[in-house]
Amino acid sequence: MTLNDFLKSKAYVLKSRPAGKPTPDDFEEIEVALPALEDGQILLEAKYISVDPYMRGRMSDQKSYVAPFEIGQPITGGVVARVMESRSSMFHPGDMVMGMLKWEDIQIAWATEVQKIDVELAPASYYLGLFGLTGLTAYFGMMRIAKPKPAETVVISGAAGAVGMVVGQIAKIMGCNVIGIAGSPSKQRFLTEELGFDYAFDYHDLQTLEENLHRAAPLGVDIYFDNVGGEVSDLILNYITHGARIVICGQIALYNDPKKAVGPYPQIALIKNSALMKGFIVSDYADSFHEGQLELIKWYKEGVLKGHETVIQGFDKLPETFISLFDGKNTGKMLIQV
Amino acid sequence: MTLNDFLKSKAYVLKSRPAGKPTPDDFEEIEVALPALEDGQILLEAKYISVDPYMRGRMSDQKSYVAPFEIGQPITGGVVARVMESRSSMFHPGDMVMGMLKWEDIQIAWATEVQKIDVELAPASYYLGLFGLTGLTAYFGMMRIAKPKPAETVVISGAAGAVGMVVGQIAKIMGCNVIGIAGSPSKQRFLTEELGFDYAFDYHDLQTLEENLHRAAPLGVDIYFDNVGGEVSDLILNYITHGARIVICGQIALYNDPKKAVGPYPQIALIKNSALMKGFIVSDYADSFHEGQLELIKWYKEGVLKGHETVIQGFDKLPETFISLFDGKNTGKMLIQV
């Protein structure tokens, strides 16, 4: 007899594939009866659950590199959890771990699916943000694709989001002129006052944005780290320099509305400027995750890299918190504390 | 007294900047009185003059990496010429040379502006095509950006054009499955029967093109070498594989009509497939021209790389021959024999 013989867990499954922006009705909370642990398995209690814009892509049934979520099956994503019980020599009860796990408050996983985290070094939740897939996304997008050089100008859309805020800090560490684009005065102050960005601009009025860009990037934009897409990106492409690198990390402005996914061809700007545009997903660099994490942790210890989170309390808030990402409700990493 | 005291030359100057497709009225033929040769200069008689789609960009007064042509000044481009007289120890009368020179039948150049060519090895005109900037464009676009691997599928738009026909041959040398897109049955036969492309398809009916692509590239497109842009490119982007490379060499479909330069954002396909899109101009690789030329000549000598030209007779045909590029009138390299 084990602990989980007495336990039932709650899980969120995908109920329907959203047509545009997801709604709470696309999710369903179900009760799950947990089977007994097998050898090599661990019983986990979720502490923090990550919500990320890329998960919208997995809700659609389209060809993509990451498999779509299955209807009726639990959503999966980044989770930090405490080990309640272990039938693996790798973990002991009380250990804190992270992994790509289910939106389930109590769940069974294979020991090989998770990694132990060091909660002495930093808050446990940072392993979903700064040291997790979002931090690694920023790290590899910058260090493997953009390859910033000192004094280059870097523009970041969605700059106050989980990835963008790390991208800008890495660009500062590399000695760049850093311009963040974010949608509210409080986000803009956060970028310049808390994180040391050189400039932070609003995007709602494109003409004002263009004037600001002229002033802050008089020699043009060497690196554009794009989390958003659409009209803002069209504008910035007019200002790229010869040899510019455009990192396509997200296109959140386009995810929910296919009609918006039409605009001026960027090919014209690319050919005029011998510029590079590269899409990626963090798992492309899975072989180097350890290297990336060590570097992020080193910068954090040195005090040149900061984390920032928007934490919402309660497992039941998962659907609406995820949906709020598309309204720009978060500053920094958005997550649920269970 | 020197030979050119007796000579007048003809030149084509840019008379006006075209709004859309260039017309003969955008050019003007003028008579030029040649000054005496200075030390270090040579007198040249043009033998072949290159016309290239990229020159359309230089006719506009827009920011670009290559400076625009000046109104009232001679057009410049690739020219093969015979040395008539030399005040440089580098050249002797009768030498054949090539360089970026004026659209002028007889002209003065600095010896340092041209390079001698070996007309024993190949026809002189090949130094404007196969071994010239067009061949080098194909070479660097493939070897430095696309980096083909054996058994990968390569699609080329504008495949029967000067650059495209070399791209496809390099892809075959690299062991790829090669699909050329070209606009007439005779061009398609040229690609498969003369150059060894695996497939050649028409683009006029997009649905037929899509069906053909399904059949010829069942696993998707690993490399797309794009000389054309527009709807054909939109279609091919739906079929790229994870890690695909898209080389933006030309966008001839868009050069003359800015209204056509709007379509589905390729960023979506890039992010879904972790794909790369890179614009370039051959001068980005100027430091490696010698290396590229040696490799192209080696393949030519081995018989695995062929040249092909559409040669129009007469200096006076320059404007209309250039304009005909945009109607797809050429197969292979288009040039004027003076």
Quote the pTM value. Answer: 0.90
Does A64 lie in the same domain as A118? yes
* Angle at B318 (CA atoms; ends B312, B324), nearest 5 degrees: 75
Look-up of token digits 């690609």: B191
What is the average pLDDT across B310-317? 96
Residue A301 to residue B146: CA distance in whole angstroms: 40
* Domain stops at, among A283, A299, A324: A283
pLDDT at B11 over 50: yes
- CATH number of A166's domain: 3.40.50.720
Residue B19: predicted pLDDT: 87
Listed residues A267, A283, A299: the one ending a domain: A283
B233 touches chain A (CB under 8 A): yes
| B8 near A CB under 8 A | no
Cα B338 from Cα B326, distance rounded (Å): 22
**Smallest Cα–Cα separation from B312: which of B332, B334, B331, B329?**
B334
**Beta strand pairing status for B240-248 and B153-157?**
unpaired
Rounded to whole angstroms, the Cα distance separating A177 from A155 reads 9
State which residues of chain A have pLDDT below 70: 1-6, 63-65
Domain membership of residue B297 (yes or no) is no
Within this chain, do residues A178 and A217 fall inside the same structural domain, yes or no?
Answer: yes
Q: Do B277 and A284 touch (CB under 8 A)?
A: no
Of A262, A276, A284, Cβ closest to residue B265:
A262
Beta bridge partners of A100: A78
Q: B213 and B121: one domain?
A: no
Three-state SS for A20? coil
Sign of the dihedral through C-alpha A98, A100, A106, A111:
negative
Residues B94, B24 share a domain: yes
User: Which residues in chain B are contacts of A265 at CB distance < 8 A?
Assistant: 229-230, 251, 254, 261-263, 266
The number of residues in chain B equals 338
Q: Does residue A172 fall inside a structural domain?
A: yes
User: Looking at the predicted structure, is the pLDDT value of residue B319 above 80?
Assistant: yes
Q: How many CB atoms lie within 10 A of CB B33?
A: 9
pLDDT for position A1: 47
B300 within domain boundaries: no
Across the A:B interface, residue pairs with CB atoms under 8 Å apart total 118
The rounded distance, in Å, linking the Cα atoms of A181 and A232 is: 9
Nearest Cα of chain B lies from the Cα of A43 at a distance, in angstroms, of 34
B70 shares its domain with B186: no
Contacts of A281 in chain B (CB under 8 A): 271, 274
Question: B165-193 pLDDT, tens per residue?
Answer: 999 999 999 999 999 999 999 999 999 99
The token duo for A158 is 């969605």
A45 and A176 part of one domain: no
Specify if A242 maps to a domain. yes
Q: Give domain status of residue A220, yes or no.
A: yes
Residue ranges making up the domain that contains B190: 133-283
User: How many angstroms separate the CA of residue A275 from the nearest CA in chain B?
Assistant: 5
What residues of chain A, 22 to 61, have a C-beta less than 8 Å from chain B?
57
State the total domains in chain A: 2
A235 and A154 belong to one structural domain = yes
Q: Do A274 and B57 touch (CB under 8 A)?
A: no
Q: What type of residue sits at position A228?
A: V
Q: Tell me the pLDDT tens digit for each residue of A244-270.
A: 999 999 988 887 777 778 999 999 999
**Which pLDDT score, from 0 to 100, does residue B1 have?**
47
Q: Is A72 on the interface with B (CB under 8 A)?
A: no
Same domain, A144 and A263: yes
Consecutive H or E run containing B292? helix B289-302
The reply to whether B142 and B257 lie within a common domain is yes
Rg of the Cα atoms in chain A: 21
Residue B251 within a domain: yes
Which positions in chain A touch B272 (Cβ < 8 Å)? 57, 62-65, 279
List of residues 6+ apart from A125 with CB closer than 8 A: A47, A48, A80, A309, A311, A333, A335, A337
d(CA B9, CA B6) in angstroms, rounded, equals: 10
CB-based contact, B261 to chain A, within 8 Å: yes
The DSSP code for A53 is T
**Which residues of chain A lie closer than 8 angstroms to B247, CB-CB?**
none
The letter for the amino acid at B23 is T
> Is residue B269 located within the same domain as residue B316?
no
Alpha helices in B19-116 (DSSP H): 55-59
Does residue B57 belong to any structural domain of this protein? yes
Same domain, A118 and A229: no
Cα gap B93→B84, rounded to integer Å: 5
Contact (CB<8Å) A272/B64: yes
Please check whether residue B87 is in contact with residue B40, taking contact to mean a CB–CB distance below 8 angstroms. Answer: yes
- Nearby residues of A191 by Cβ (< 8 Å), 6 or more positions away: A159, A160, A165, A168, A180, A182, A197, A200
Supply φ then ψ for residue B337, to 5 degrees. -95, 120
Place of tokens 């400027």: A273
From chain B, pick out residues whose CB is under 8 angstroms from the CB of A250.
Answer: 271
Query: Which of A265, A272, A279 lies at the smallest CB-CB distance from B275?
Result: A279
How do residues A28-42 score in pLDDT, each as one tens digit?
999 999 999 999 999
Mutate to test the interface with A, among B237, B268, B271 (most CBs of A within 10 A): B271
Do the bridges between strand A41-50 and strand A76-86 make them parallel or antiparallel, or are there none, so unpaired? antiparallel
Task: Please report where in the chains the tokens 């809700």 appear, as a residue.
Answer: A59
DSSP state of A207: H
Whether residue A208 is contained in a domain is answered as yes
ipTM for the whole complex: 0.88
Q: How many CB atoms lie within 10 A of CB B92?
A: 12
**Contact between B42 and B82 (Cβ < 8 Å):** no
User: Phi and psi dihedrals of A14, rounded to 5?
Assistant: -80, 120
Strands A153-156 and A96-102: unpaired
The enclosing domain of A41 has a CATH number of 3.90.180.10
Residues B215 and B313 in one domain: no
- Please provide residue B290's backbone torsions phi and psi, each rounded to the nearest 5 degrees: -65, -45
Taking contacts as CB-CB distances below 8 angstroms, the residues of chain A near B214 are: none
Report the residue of A56, A245, A248, A282 to disrupt the B interface, i.e. the one with the largest count of B CBs within 10 Å. A248
Question: Please, are residues A59 and A70 in contact by the beta-carbon 8 Å criterion?
Answer: no
In eight-state DSSP terms, residue A129 is: T
A229 contacts on B by Cβ (under 8 Å) = 265, 267
